[in-house]
Amino acid sequence: MTAPAGSDAADPDVVDLLSRAYAALGVSGDDPETADTARRVAALYPLLFRGLDPAAVPRVSLSPHAGEGLVLVKDLPFYSMCAHHLLPFFGRAAVAYLPRGRVAGLGAIAEVVDYFAARPQLQERLVEQIADCLDEQLRPGGLIVHLQARHMCMEMRGAQKRALVEAVAARGALVHGRERDECLRRLPGGAMPAAP
């Protein structure tokens, strides 16, 4: 899984496995529309699952900051793949924190969200991984990560219902109390995210 983003390189073993799986499902390798599907999907997986590389955890850039007011970064789009069915889920992330002598580079917060989303995931696990990473590197007074997402595994199979799933992880002073309540009031409401 080392092909760079946008690469057409595909692991021959993965192509072979996918070709055999598609044939077993009745997908014709002779159809011009599907003849190259196994190679395309095998080339796509390194991009979708780039977050499996433990050496690629983003480092959060930090700057000194004397203020203590809440910092809220919201409406960050993300997509991931459901660990149970390898179908996409996608939505918006919000990160709020109380600085304690330093603030994070805004782009780094988005990179942390994207890194942990780029692997087979559960939304409930994803929100905790993002919170743990940011809490460890930023060491804020308090932190909340909020994810809203639509899940294709729910819309395309099983219940076949469109729903908005929310997950929240909190650390430090934002686990309980007035500051947490104020922070949650400022997070996005129940607007259904459109497809990315």
pTM of the model: 0.89
Q: Write the DSSP assignment of 130-166 as a string of letters.
A: HHHHHHHHH--SEEEEEEEEEEHHHHSSTT-----EE
How far does the chain reach from its first CA to its final CA, in angstroms? 24
pLDDT of 8 higher than 80: no
Q: What would the pLDDT profile of 90-139 be if each residue is shown by its tens digit?
A: 999 999 999 999 999 999 999 999 999 999 999 999 999 999 999 999 99
- Could you read off the pLDDT of 23-79 as tens digits, one per residue? 999 998 889 999 999 999 999 999 999 999 999 999 999 999 988 889 999 999 999
Enumerate the domain spans of the chain: 12-48, 61-186
196, pLDDT greater than 70 = no
| pLDDT-derived band at 85, boundaries 50, 70, 90 | very high
Q: Which of the four CATH numbers 3.30.1130.10, 3.30.70.1070, 3.90.1150.10, 3.40.50.300 does domain 61-186 have?
A: 3.30.1130.10
- Specify the amino acid at residue 114: D
